[in-house]
Amino acid sequence: MLNRVSTAGLKTAFQSRVPCSLLLVPKGLNSSQQYSQVSNPGNLKDLKSNRDDFTRTEKSTPSINQGSNSFVSCKQINSLHSSNEVNGTLQDKIVQYKRVWQTSAFILSAAIHATFPGKSMVLNFRITEAEFKPENFYSGGGFYSEFLLLKHNDKNLLENLDTNSENFSESLLSLIASNPDNFLFLNESQSLKIWEKFNEICRENSLIEISEHSYEEIDNISKQCISLCPNVQSEIIKEKKTFYFFKLNDYASISTEPIFDNTGLIKNSVPLKLASSHISHTLPISSTSSNPDVLKTQILNRIQGISFSDKKDLDEFNSFQEKAEKIDHRVIGKAQDLFMVHKVSPGSPFFLKHGTRIVNRMLELLRFKYFEYGFDEVITPQLFNKSLWKTSGHWENYSDDMFAVSDMPHSVKSKTNKSETPEHETSSNISGLKPMNCPGHCLIFSSKVRSYRDLPLRLADLSPIHRNEAVGALSGLTRVRRFHQDDGHIFCSFDSIRSEIQDQLRMVNEIYSILDFDDFELSLSTRPEDNYIGTLEQWDKAENLLKLALDSSGRQWTENRGDGAFYGPKIDIHVKDALGRRHQTATIQLDFQLPKRFGLKYFNKDSQAEEPVIIHRAVCGSIERMLAILSEHYSGKWPFWLSPRQALVVPVFNKEKSGSSEIENAKIKEFAQRVYNELIQSKQLQMNANNPDSGRTQVSERSERSELQTQTDKRMKRYRFYVDIDEGCNFGKLGRTVKAARLERYNYLIVIGPKETQEQKVNIRAFHGKDIKQVDLTELKIAFLDMMDNYE
């Protein structure tokens, strides 16, 4: 039964034996004192009896859907575990899994405490939100625990910690800053020990003691136990009225979410990953902290896992994970030499030759669509003085995620006496690397007087931007610090919103169709209930205009009421990849705030100054992240127009070593080289064609060229084809070459042997692309050009 326990009762429990992760007793208490009172009244036998009585009383059993105040009995949970179709509704299954993962997170924290007694302090344990979509129910789900780990069991190290929850964060940061060498990171073997203890706790089928409290009660009792301080701190921002106190053996913690009361209900758990994190993502800490370096330092260990209600769900997950691991963009990127990362520049990918080819093709597509839809591309600075970010509001609300840059002092020597001590020119100017382009575009708009004839003003920007992501959160191309965003901003009148949104949705549809994302989802996020700027009339009109634009798109869309940003409603777009995973990519956002902050005005037809509306839009979002999504969506088999390896020319020689064979092989090699040169439009080919000493054959070929060949060669200048040439092989070894080309993800193999040389044709083998078979060189060029023109 859920019992309300007095603060005094809890204090007595802590004073008997404090169930903390790192410091087992408050200052001044004897650590050898025995635990004489548990958090629920009565001994464990009485608690078991009470729980059994509660379970048998069906009328008094609250529903699992009653919210965070409900306490779930073992009988209820066992029935939840019996079937995937919980009560026949998807929502019940979602509630079930959130409870499973929340309980698992607490048990994981208890396992950390038990594995490293006196050396660990759990600062945070939570669940990660899954998508809960039928096609990929568990994607993104699971639980994690973040904790500090000491090298030695050193209670003296924490003697000066302030257990007042309001001062705890700063006190802890000071401790870390003054003792950086005493904290360590887990290795894989240590992580496995924690999971072994986790499974052992689950097998023990132990009771978890649970009680409900107000924040004031929990805040008061946390002063008696250091390990509870960070948990209380991390929940303050949620302004929850109800807190739960959990105790398992000698470990205790709190949460705003309820859990199961028995460890035996957690089965089928899978470790996911071991990582690091930093304090400021765990505790609510002011940006003016006296320890700013510690805020971004990777000092915490983070262990993540996932649990399942039954073996069937676990098997489904494992099968999915196996498929996902094979097509992980980091695996594909390494195998195909697309990109690399380096520790000297974390979160800043190096695009290699083949990766750059893909990026440039995507940028060409975007620029072509920009031209079609009336955008003008601009290039804005990387570095802006903080005064700009203060005007935009980013310095106040986003500075922790920005890279700040100080002016470098310069030495100035006296021109008259070089022996004098040099003076130093100092500057207090602080700048920030841009994390987005909108403030710079506002400067462009305000750089001259604007009239209604200038609107809509559509600006696009593909220059790199920087965001100060935590090192421990960085991952491949999906989470980076430096990236390119296909950023666009439309400055328009209020009456133009609908038509501009329709155009942007049309452009998204066209680009996503080319990228093979025909099945994408639209959602409208509307005005927040409280914190928003602008009038209700403005919001209602803007939302209605967005709804009309969405209706005209011909696609179904959903509404997320109250989920809009405070400065305007927005449309989010999610694509679905080949494995059914959803990724948010495009965003179309109305903004009523920035025009006000920058004082933007234009003169209408009546010569009256009006404020424009800004429409933020990104089609791909981050180019880097879209490249990651596409590589997994295509399983590394790039469509021809986007492929960094479009074709491989392979000459196949006669293996006989006679004089006639050598002559034949020379002709094969010459024809293969000609095919290669013409496909890549080699400068050497052009030099030979214009060389008067190259012989009659060249003159004869030029005079006999057909109009089709001439037009085809003109078309060829529009593109660069990524074609390689093999050193050649005999027919006996052709199979190996074919296999290697397929593994390297070439779209086509162009085979040239004695027959092809004699007939002046090429034999085409398609790995992933439309079938071409045997054609002459002009026909091959036309086939390649048509695929490029049609984005095939």
Cα 675 to chain centroid, rounded: 43
Residue tagged active-site, from 570, 583, 625, 781: 570
336 a catalytic residue:
no
Residue tagged active-site, from 202, 438, 442, 492: 438
485 a catalytic residue:
yes
Amino acid 450 reads R
Rounded to whole angstroms, what are the CA distances from 231 to 126, 146, 237? 11, 11, 12
Return phi, psi of residue 404, to 5°: -90, 145
357 a catalytic residue:
no
N residues, the chain: 792
CA angle, 480 then 484 then 485, to 5° = 105
Residue tagged active-site, from 461, 486, 487, 503: 487
Contact (Cβ atoms closer than 8 angstroms) between residue 17 and residue 34: yes
Contact (Cβ atoms closer than 8 angstroms) between residue 266 and residue 107: yes
Amino acid 101 reads W
Alpha-carbon span 349 to 623, nearest angstrom: 12
489 a catalytic residue:
yes
467 a catalytic residue:
yes
For residue 589, count other CB atoms closer than 10 A to its CB. Answer: 20
Q: Which has the closest alpha carbon to 458: 429, 422, 501?
A: 501
Alpha-carbon span 256 to 243, nearest angstrom: 5
Structure-block tokens of residue 607: 């010569």
**For residue 266, with 0-12 CB atoms within 10 Å meaning exposed, 13-18 middle and 19 or more buried, which class applies?**
buried
Residue tagged active-site, from 467, 484, 576, 625: 467
Residue tagged active-site, from 99, 458, 466, 616: 616
**Look-up: residue for tokens 């001259």?**
448
Contact (Cβ atoms closer than 8 angstroms) between residue 455 and residue 322: no
Residue tagged active-site, from 484, 489, 527, 781: 489
Alpha-carbon span 118 to 485, nearest angstrom: 47
441 a catalytic residue:
no
* 767 sits in which H/E element: none
Alpha-carbon span 202 to 108, nearest angstrom: 10
Structure-block tokens of residue 228: 């509870």
342 a catalytic residue:
no
Rg of the chain over Cα atoms, rounded to whole angstroms, equals 33
Residue tagged active-site, from 76, 224, 485, 593: 485
Strands 120-128 and 142-149: antiparallel
For residue 518, count other CB atoms closer than 10 A to its CB. Answer: 10
Q: Which residues are catalytic?
A: 438, 467, 485, 487, 489, 570, 616
